[in-house]
């Protein structure tokens, strides 16, 4: 009995150590830890089976020792790469991630080239005021090929033979809200023009300079490019195209020594997200351009609720942009940058659920996480009302008979 009890407690100790270590690894890196997690749990089951067979306690101890030897220990992180003399080009620095990233990289000693839409705007003036003389502001619209070429010529003249260490593709836009059927074609084209074709054009133009430096390409994408967020079809489709392009580029640039990273942020207060006038304009523009048939089937009250849900959701987003900025910095200075970064609260958990749980669970999670619609389209409400009336009439007939 005593030998059985000892074997049991050794088994429990081994199981606890393995499962606890696996859970810590999973919580720290939700996606990349999946193979390690599966391996650890497999070893835990194997050890439990061995101990249940009544093998001597010594065998259990030997197994535990072997497992500990097989599991790699925590190695100290490699020192970051130097920043002095290295140039980085960041798009979309008028506000949000781009502006704060430009400030951070300038303070770290990088030579920063920051593109803005408006050289006289508040964001550009702030960068001029707080940053060093190294930072250069460049007026550039990523949808205009001529402006991209002009920016390229200016940067090429400055960096010379050293090339461009980092290209940070940050500029992007979300010009739609509403169901996929309700979103205007101009919204789909607008998102694709900026988020995909604009970023594609910039990346292709600056790639020779990045290859010359064996540098880094860091792209700010979105989880909506991989997960079916309700009411974000136009934006999500443009980010999905961008994700595939960047992933393909990552494989193709490996022989050149260029590292490619994608950052997937959660929701933050950036751009127009907290601008009430912006949402009002989008709402009125949608109503004015919807076909009468669609507006009748969905109803103005359905579109109004969508607008209000977007406004309410924007108020709950975080103003602290540091999780995203920190990942951009790591992708630029880490000797071994990650392929994908999950930046911000909840995004790692969301990817874990959407990757490993059934679709019915992950779909419900996304619906509850984002816009929680309660108003049915007008046509469905009429159908439901007719159905309820028919049931009531049938009940009355049954009672009368």
Catalytic residues: 235
Query: DSSP letters of 173-221?
Result: -----S-TTTS-HHHHHHHIIIIIIIHHHHHHHHHHHHHHHT-EEEEE-
Contact 219, 264 (CB under 8 A): no
What is the spatial distance between Cα 224 and Cα 343, in angstroms, rounded to a whole number?
Answer: 14
Contact 167, 87 (CB under 8 A): no
Q: The tokens 């970023």 sit on which residue?
A: 199
Contact 264, 341 (CB under 8 A): yes
Burial 177-209 (b: 16+ CB within 10 A, else e): bbbeebbbeebbebbbebbbbbbbbbbebbbeb
What is the spatial distance between Cα 225 and Cα 245, in angstroms, rounded to a whole number?
Answer: 12
What is the spatial distance between Cα 319 and Cα 373, in angstroms, rounded to a whole number?
Answer: 25
Give the helix/strand (H/E) hosting 39.
helix 34-52
CB atoms within 10 A of CB 349: 15
Give the helix/strand (H/E) hosting 89.
strand 87-90
- Nearest Cα neighbor of 346 from 223, 217, 240, 199 is 223
User: How open is the CA angle 117-121-126, to the nearest 5 degrees?
Assistant: 110
């Amino acid at each position: 009995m005593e030998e059985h009890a000892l074997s049991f407690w050794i088994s429990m100790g081994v199981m606890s150590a393995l499962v606890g270590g696996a859970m810590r690894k999973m919580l720290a890196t939700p996606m990349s830890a999946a193979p390690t997690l599966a391996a650890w749990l497999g070893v835990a089951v194997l050890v439990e089976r061995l101990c249940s067979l009544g093998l001597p306690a010594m065998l259990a101890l030997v197994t535990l020792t072997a497992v500990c030897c097989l599991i790699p220990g925590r190695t100290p992180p490699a020192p970051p790469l130097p920043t002095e003399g290295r140039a980085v080009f960041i798009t979309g620095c008028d506000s949000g991630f781009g502006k704060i990233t430009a400030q951070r990289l300038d303070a770290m000693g990088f030579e920063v080239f920051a593109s803005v839409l408006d050289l006289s705007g508040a964001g550009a003036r702030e960068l001029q005021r707080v940053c060093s003389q190294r930072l250069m502001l460049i007026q550039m619209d990523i949808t205009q090929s001529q402006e991209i070429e002009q920016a390229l010529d200016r940067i090429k003249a400055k960096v010379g033979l050293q090339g461009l260490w980092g290209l940070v593709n940050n500029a992007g836009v979300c010009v739609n809200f509403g169901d996929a059927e309700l979103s205007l074609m101009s919204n789909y084209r607008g998102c694709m023009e900026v988020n995909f074709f604009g970023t594609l054009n910039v990346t292709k133009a600056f790639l020779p300079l990045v290859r010359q430096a064996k540098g880094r390409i860091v792209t700010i994408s979105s989880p909506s490019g991989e997960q079916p967020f309700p009411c974000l079809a136009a934006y999500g489709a443009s980010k999905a195209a961008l994700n595939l392009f960047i992933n393909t580029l990552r494989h193709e640039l490996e022989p050149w020594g260029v590292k490619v990273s994608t950052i997937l942020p959660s929701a933050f207060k950036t751009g127009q997200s907290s601008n009430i006038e912006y949402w009002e304009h989008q709402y009125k523009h949608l109503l004015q351009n919807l076909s009468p048939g669609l507006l009748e089937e969905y109803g103005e009250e359905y579109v109004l609720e969508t607008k209000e849900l977007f406004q309410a959701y924007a108020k709950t987003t975080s103003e602290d942009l540091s999780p995203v900025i920190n990942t951009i910095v790591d992708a630029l200075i880490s000797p071994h940058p990650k392929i994908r970064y999950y930046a911000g609260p909840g995004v790692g958990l969301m990817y874990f659920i959407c990757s490993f749980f059934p679709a019915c669970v992950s779909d419900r999670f996304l619906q509850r996480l984002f816009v929680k619609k309660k108003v049915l389209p007008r046509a469905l409400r009429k159908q439901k009302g007719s159905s309820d009336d028919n049931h009531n009439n049938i009940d009355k007939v049954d009672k009368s008979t």
